[in-house]
Amino acid sequence: MKKIIYLLMLVLFIACSYEPQPIDYGNDNCDFCEMTIVSKAYAAQAVSEKGKQYKYDAIECMVSDQLQHNYNISVNLVANFEQPGTMIDVNKTGFVINDSIKSPMGGNLAAFEKGSPVVIDGSEGTFSWEELKAHFLQNDSITTSYQ
């Protein structure tokens, strides 16, 4: 009986992980728009304070989902556009919106590691995570157009 209790405790401990689970590109679906996550250059993921995993096919899906649902998030990661498949914390990121960037949901949004010498003509500038969320709130059509 003690072995069963220890086993159950172990399973619960493992199941409540706050570490982001790797995205299974081509198989995982976006938690916001439900499209299959394919592009390693635009994906994003989050983990709630309770350990719930959220995976997104585009950064704009993650921003829109979090603005609409006000989740308590402990980890927010986005794909590094310069190193597709590499995820970086949103607080160590600069976000660029530009028509030459073709993100999956049409937000023309990509993330670059802070300090990266990114120069994209015609971009709206580089946004921090908080500035990006404010930008989405100001452009109300962005947060509702993906559903």
Per-residue pLDDT tens over the stretch 42-88: 999 999 998 999 999 999 999 999 999 988 999 999 999 999 999 99
Burial-class residue 40 by CB neighbours within 10 Å (0-12, 13-18, 19+): middle
Judge whether residue 27 has pLDDT over 70: yes
CB of 111 within 8 A of CB of 78?
yes
Judge whether residue 125 has pLDDT over 80: no
Burial-class residue 19 by CB neighbours within 10 Å (0-12, 13-18, 19+): exposed
pLDDT bracket for residue 144 (50, 70, 90): very low
| Residue among 89, 105, 106 nearest 30 (CA) | 105
* Helical H segments across 16-126, by residue range: 59-69
In which element (H, E) is residue 79 found? strand 73-79
Q: Is the pTM of this model over 0.95?
A: no
